[in-house]
Every structure is written in structure tokens, then in C-alpha cells.
Amino acid sequence: MSPSTRIANLYGREILDSRGNPTLAVTLVLESGAEASAAVPSGASTGANEAVELRDGDPARYGGKGVLQAIGRVEGPIASALQGHDVCDQAALDRAMIALDGTPNKARLGANAILGVSMAAARAASIVEGVPLYQQLGGEGACLLPMPSMNVLNGGKHADSGLDFQEFMIVPVGAPSFAEALRYGAETYAAIRSILHKRGLKTAVGDEGGFAPALENNEEACELIVAGVEAAGYRPGQDIAIALDPAASSFGRGGVYDLARAGQARLDRTAMLALYGRWIDAYPIVSIEDGFAEDDWQGFVEQTTAQGQRIQVMGDDITVTNPHFIQEAIDRKAMNAVLIKLNQIGTVTETVDAVNLCHKAGWGTMVSHRSGETNDDFIADFAVAVGAGQMKSGAPCRGERLAKYNRLLEIERMLGKRAFFTNPFTNPFAKA
């Protein structure tokens, strides 16, 4: 090991995320003096089994949301344990932090502290090796750009739009490249803004950059998207499809779903499944994430059986990027794709393991931002590195969302002729 790849020190900083809440940035310094930083995101609609985000709980600072303790973990026990370690051996570093933590959910050191170090290490390694981050993590073969799902209408815990469903996304399935996909998305987003404006509805945006108008019900959101796609000159379904993240854990429990926010009824599991069935018939939907709550495995299994040939049935809160729960989902045939969030599990290595487990099962993966984000664009490189095939980073609006999309434009340029972009929904999710 050359001395220039050895870790000298770690520093933490309390910064603000896109909601104005504190989060953690970590700087890793090598013995050579070279350094790299990373910032950790934070969710609002979190799964109960996510790795623990360490917050101070001191009501005198940021309503208890400060992260000074997490910084203490980075600069104290983690720095002591990692000093002198080879930054290029990501797996060994992550294993050392997991062992030092010693809990199943990273409660002692905090997943925010551990992930900040893990991401900063990957970045430092890419600097040492002189290769872009996607290549450092994914090797020479990493050349698949992800299909973006852009969240153009925000509801649930991300906006006070009155929509029960959290995310209504557009997926430019007919685009020939990532750059064109982003253009299709931005033009459709602009068309939706014009329609809202003409109808006298608000064009203020929610946490993920999507509009948050006071619509009558969830269905109107799908109709508005189809109108926006057409107004932008695209064909619904062929050029641009729809993906949903109802985030049903926020309005469902014990197999009962309360759609009261948009003036609809309480639905049981069977009625919920029937509602999705009607929507799949009526709208060009290719993917539904968390259509059922995290405590409703049966809902996921029934949806996969009934609709899994027509759409992507994806888990988020129920799988929490944790190989243990993903394996359970595989055993139960509970879905056919998994959402991937680094901070749900807490290290780069375990996130790569989660993706590989899904791909081995023939399942799709979508790398995801969190609703509380920073300008860190790590997930763009990560999505290319693991060949995820899909990524969501909100609307084509708000700097912290665009940081990731704009980084993908840069990666596509760097890859040049080797860049590969494809519609992940052609098979087996072919739409008539």
C-alpha cells in the first residue's frame, strides 16, 4: 500500500439539507494531504427498518435535529479505527465500521456518520486512482445510464397538495439517450406548469421539485400528466410513461388504506389492488413503488401475482435496501424490483450487495435520492457503477435534484460512444 492511499483523518460538518434541516458532511484526508468530501441525505417517509439516523435530540438546537453527536462519532471512534487504512479497499473500510458499530441497524455510530465516511472514502479512492467515481466503483464495464423517473407532482409527506399519493413521476421511455430523456422530462414539466397556470392552480413546488397544486383527487394527477405529455408534443406511453410512488405506509396500516386527504374512501387491500388495476388500464403506468404499506407483505405478493407482468412492482419502505429484507421479498415473490437508497442501509458496500442480490434474482433496481437532499451528486455515479438501469432524483427543478441529473449528462459525455441507454420496461413489462 502506498502511503498516499492511507487515511490520515476524518472531519464532520453540520450542514443544511434542502428542507433546511441539519445533515452531515464528511471530509476524509489522506496521508498525502489529498481530501474528498460527501454529504448525507435524509428522508421524510422513512421505512421503520431503515438504519438509524443519529440526531442529537437537543430541543435547543434545530428542534432536536442537530447532528453534532454524529460528527463526534466520525471524528472520534471512526477516525481512530480507520487511521492508516487503505482508502482503496472500500469493503474492508465498511466492514471495519460495521464491526465497530456492532448493532444490526447502526444505532451506535449512526448510519449518517458511517455513510458519510463510506461515500467520502469512495470519492477519495477515485481521486487516488485518477478515474471518475462511477469507474472507481463499477470498473471499466460501467456504461449503462439510468432511465430517470422525474417526480412532477408531489403529495403525501412531501407537499400540502392534498394528494394522498406521494409521487407522480414521468419516465421518458422513448428517449434515445439520457440527455434526450432529461429534455423530454423538462419540456413536459414546463407544459404541466402552463396547464396549471391556465387553470388558475398554484405552481409552487414540493420537497422533490414537483408541483403541489390543490387537485380534487389522486386520479386528476394522472390526467394532468397525460395532458402535459401531449401538450409537450409527446405520445403518452410510447415516449413518456408514468411511474407512481404512493408511499402507502404513510396512509395505510393493517391492510387498510385511508385516502381521505383527497376526499376518497378507506379502501381495504383488495379494493386498493382493484384501484391500481383500473389505473393501469386507464393510464400509461409502468411502475408502482410502495403501492402497499411496509406491514402488508400480502398486498405486495397479490399485486405481483395480479399485475407483475404488466408493471414494475417495486419495494422501498418494505425492503429498505437491506439484503435481509430483499431476500425475504425474493423468497415470497413479493415484487419484481427494488428501490435503492444508500442511507437506508448505511454503507456503499452493503448497497452494492443489495443491488447485486436484486439483479441475480432478475429484478430491476432504481437508485434513489431522498426528499431531504444536498448538492452531493454521488448517486448519479453510483447508479452507473452498479448498472441499476433506473434512477429517481425528483423533478427537473431545484438545484439539489438537478445536481444528480446534470452529473449524469457529464457521465454520458465522458463515456462517449460507450454510453448505453435503454428502456428497462420493454420486457417483461411490455405495454400493449
Catalytic residue positions? Answer: 208, 341
Which spans of this chain sit near ligand PGA (rule: CB under 6 A)? 43-46, 245, 247, 316, 339, 368, 370-371
CB of 45 to Zn ion, least distance (A): 6
Partner whose binding site includes residue 322, from ligand PGA, Zn ion, none (CB under 5 to 8 Å by kind): none
Does 376 interact with Zn ion (rule: CB under 5 A)? no
Which residue shows C-alpha cell 397556470?
197
Minimum CB distance to ligand PGA smaller for 269 or for 370: 370
How would you label 109-140 residue by residue, b for 16+ Cβ within 10 Å and e otherwise? bbbbbbbbbbbbbbbbbbbbeeebbbbbbbee
**Residue 335, helix vs strand vs coil:** coil
In terms of Cα–Cα distance, which of 160, 262, 152 is closest to 216?
A: 262
Minimum CB distance to ligand PGA smaller for 45 or for 126: 45
Q: Which residue is nearest to Zn ion (CB)?
A: 316
Q: Contact, 153 vs 161, CB < 8 A?
A: yes
**Residue 245, helix vs strand vs coil:** strand
Does 316 interact with Zn ion (rule: CB under 5 A)? yes
| Options 107-115, 314-322, 371-379, 408-416: segment touching Zn ion (CB under 5 A) | 314-322
CB of 176 to ligand PGA, least distance (A): 27
CB of 156 to ligand PGA, least distance (A): 8
CA angle, 292 then 298 then 302, to 5°: 85
Question: Which residues, 6+ apart, have CB-to-CB distance to 228 below 8 Å?
Answer: 152, 170, 188, 189, 191, 192, 195
CB of 105 to ligand PGA, least distance (A): 16
How is residue 249 annotated by DSSP? G
Q: Site size for Zn ion, by CB under 5 A?
A: 3
In terms of Cα–Cα distance, which of 147, 144, 210 is closest to 184?
A: 147
| Options 118-126, 135-143, 312-320, 406-414: segment touching Zn ion (CB under 5 A) | 312-320
DSSP assignment of 30-42 equals ETTS-EEEEE--B
Minimum CB distance to ligand PGA smaller for 341 or for 415: 341
CB of 339 to ligand PGA, least distance (A): 6
CA distance 72 to 78: 9
Minimum CB distance to ligand PGA smaller for 23 or for 45: 45
| Options 49-57, 238-246, 264-272, 278-286: segment touching Zn ion (CB under 5 A) | 238-246
Does 245 interact with Zn ion (rule: CB under 5 A)? yes
Minimum CB distance to Zn ion smaller for 74 or for 288: 288
Partner whose binding site includes residue 371, from ligand PGA, Zn ion, none (CB under 5 to 8 Å by kind): ligand PGA
Phi, then psi, of 390 in degrees rounded to 5: -145, 150
Which residues form the interface with Zn ion (CB under 5 A)?
A: 245, 290, 316
